[in-house]
Structure 1
Amino acid sequence: MAHLPSTTSSTEPLPLRPTTGQGRWLVPALSAAYMLFSYVLIGFRPEQLVLVALCNGCYFLSDTTRRFITGFSIFVVFWVLYDYMRAFPNYAYRAVDVAQLYYTELRLFGIHSAGKLLTPNEFFLLHHYSVLDVLCGIFYLCWVPIPLGFAGYLFFANRRLFFEFSLTFLLVNIIGFIIYYLHPAAPPWFVQQHGLEFTPLKMGSTAGLARFDAFFGVSIFQSIYAKNANVFAAMPSLHSAYPVVVVFYAFRNKTDSFQVFRLFFLIVMVGIWFAAVYNSHHYVLDVLAGISVALTGIGLLRLLLARSAGFRRLLEYFVLATAPARSPAPVIPSS
């Protein structure tokens, strides 16, 4: 029996990534479901429209933006989880730690000043300076832009490392969110403004960051903390956790030209730690807990990569799904 000629050449390139045709209906469908669910759960918020417009715009604009938003869907998941926390305030499920955390901080890190024992937050509330107000405000503004900017760089420079970083970032947040519900904790500014008795609040406070706003005559931090999803989520300090993850993966990125950024990230990391305490948003204990959560998340992801073949395949799928489209093989006319 004669063999039929193959309809495809043996040299025809294999597709580098899965097809994205299903996304043409999946992304709008997920967007509609997200808007509906959000409206029912937490009510309409303008940033929800911004998120939906950004995701759909990037997905349909070009192949590059489609790959980009596909990779950054990990950060979209983080944002949705964080936003939905406002529908389930942690103080409704467990007692909020106000006094015990304060007195533990006082015992471990108390500063003697003018015959009184003060927490570091109370000390800086009495001894603050404009230059530190400005610097700490700048450092605190870096807590999300730096991870996102670093992720954007990694997406184009080293996509495998991008997904390791992004999944670690998500894992660290999930660990932090779980602890928020297991151990709701009041921030230092709550004690300064409301005392040691618990009072339910739905809006955060700028605390010491109000001095940054006042110095420049702006309302940057006022607008940020008016949208705070969870007031009683001081421990662990995820502000302190994020830069640890950034620094770890910055050192895993072996590009020689990246050395100056490693130093920059180290400075920002220490600056955020100090600013968290200086501005009364976190105790030293919260900062240490945030660092511990970051190291735990990093360790867990490294363990998954080392021990789980299924997780490694998932990571490779993510890398494959965001690979550039390969140009079709040229057609050689028959002679």
Structure 2
Amino acid sequence: MTSQSPSRATPFTWLVTLLGLGHVALVAYTGRLRWDHVAADALLLGVAWAGPRTRRFLLGGFPLWLTGMLLDSQGLWLFLRGPIHTGDLWELERQWFPAPGGTHWPEWWATRFHPALDLVTGFSYAAYLYEVFAVAIFFFVEKDSRFQRLCWAFLAVNAIGVVVYVLYPAAPPWYILQYGHGPADLTAPPSPAGTARFDALLGISYFAGFYSRNTNVFGAMPSLHAAYPFMVAFYVWNRGWAWRVSTGLFALLVAFSAVYLTHHYILDVLAGMFATLAAVLVVETLFARRTAAAAVPMPVHSRGDTRA
């Protein structure tokens, strides 16, 4: 009897391969091919074909790759958007969360920024994404099942965000401060808004480059910046108070930063938290059902059973 090769491809390997190659073809066909597309797809294929050990990482890395491709491809379906909300969301924010003087907090902070706050909030706005990756890698190294669950929840919350961006496209506060409440200007370029001050303080162009690749200016609701740290705090909650306090405070800092830097309303932040709850609920339910199904013993039939 011959033993099977440990590197034998599985149906999942072939699925990932087809998606990776298909993505390269798609971005090339639509004229969007960049070096990071090639790098991400090559890494995906390398992990898929490297063997069983790396395929364990693929179970979580694959939804992370899907998330990147989903967000990067938003421009392909923006024609499906409904009317873009500008003044109505601005007014609703002012009524529900008024700041001193009858305005609302993004507008209030736009004239009361401080270099120290610019540094702290800029750092949090840059680190919010890396926190997800760092915690995911930690779970992977620990062989914790939350590695897969966190990664799939990350995909789910981004999918929710993209769907809402199409159903309820909304202008961020910086857009209103710059262009006003009138009909949406579809030619408006993306802006780093308050994070430009962070770039200026450090003499870098991190946020300028980051937001220059944004294909959807009118994707303020929900705030995925607020959603990610909130999701991380949920997944590390049972590891003790040190994890709870550190991730919880960071989630609050990112939520504040989203408003302070005029990227989001408080309503956007709350919507991001609700999107996280929905994504986590779906993923945890599906994984619980899969675990329960795997735990059900298979019926054993005796060879000598001759009953009718």
The TM tier, using the shorter chain, reads: 0.7 to 0.9
Q: Corresponding residue for 1:209?
A: 195
Separation of aligned partners in 1, 2:153 and 2:293: 14
Deviation at 1:22, TM superposition (A): 6.2
Q: Which residues of structure 2 form unaligned runs of 5+?
A: 296-308
- CA change 1:294–1:42 in 2 (3 A) is farther
RMSD: 2.7
Deviation at 1:20, TM superposition (A): 3.2
Q: Is the 8 A contact 1:237 1:289 kept in 2?
A: yes
- CA change 1:123–1:217 in 2 (3 A) is same
Deviation at 1:73, TM superposition (A): 0.5
Instruction: Answer with 1 or 2: which has the greater Rg.
Output: 1
Q: Corresponding residue for 1:273?
A: 255
Q: Is the 8 A contact 2:81 2:169 kept in 1?
A: no
Q: Which residues of structure 1 form unaligned runs of 5+?
A: 1-6, 317-335
Q: Corresponding residue for 1:243?
A: 229
Separation of aligned partners in 2, 1:297 and 1:149: 20
Report matched runs for 1:28-177 at 5 Å.
28-41=17-30, 43-60=32-49, 64-89=53-78, 92-113=80-101, 117-177=102-162
Separation of aligned partners in 2, 1:189 and 1:85: 21
Q: Corresponding residue for 2:208?
A: 222
Deviation at 1:25, TM superposition (A): 6.3
Q: Is the 8 A contact 2:237 2:243 kept in 1?
A: no
Correspondent of 1:194 among 179, 191, 207:
179
Correspondent of 1:282 among 264, 272, 276:
264
Deviation at 1:203, TM superposition (A): 3.6
% identical aligned pairs: 30
Separation of aligned partners in 2, 1:277 and 1:220: 19
Q: Is the 8 A contact 2:233 2:244 kept in 1?
A: yes
Structure of higher RCO (CA pairs closer than 8 Å, 6+ residues apart) = 1
Separation of aligned partners in 2, 1:304 and 1:33: 27
Cα deviation code 1:85-132 (max 9, x no counterpart): 121226x5300000100011111112224xxx2210111111111000
Cα deviation code 1:176-210 (max 9, x no counterpart): 21111110010000001111121104642100000
Deviation at 1:167, TM superposition (A): 1.7
- Are 1:302 and 2:291 matched, yes or no? no
Q: How many residues were matched structurally?
A: 293
Separation of aligned partners in 2, 1:180 and 1:280: 18
Q: Is the 8 A contact 1:203 1:225 kept in 2?
A: no
Separation of aligned partners in 1, 2:37 and 2:137: 22
Separation of aligned partners in 2, 1:146 and 1:315: 32
Q: Is the 8 A contact 1:160 1:315 kept in 2?
A: no
The one-letter code of the counterpart of 1:262 is R
- CA change 1:184–1:314 in 2 (3 A) is farther
Separation of aligned partners in 2, 1:201 and 1:312: 49
Separation of aligned partners in 1, 2:244 and 2:13: 39
The one-letter code of the counterpart of 1:223 is G
Deviation at 1:267, TM superposition (A): 1.7
Separation of aligned partners in 1, 2:270 and 2:61: 28
- CA change 1:315–1:40 in 2 (3 A) is farther
Deviation at 1:63, TM superposition (A): 5.1
Q: Secondary structure at the match of 1:111?
A: coil
Q: Is the 8 A contact 1:180 1:233 kept in 2?
A: yes
- CA change 1:21–1:164 in 2 (3 A) is closer
Separation of aligned partners in 1, 2:145 and 2:14: 27
Q: Secondary structure at the match of 2:100?
A: strand
Deviation at 1:174, TM superposition (A): 1.4
- Tell me whether 52-61 or 269-278 shows the greater mean CA deviation: 52-61
- Tell me whether 57-66 or 224-233 shows the greater mean CA deviation: 57-66
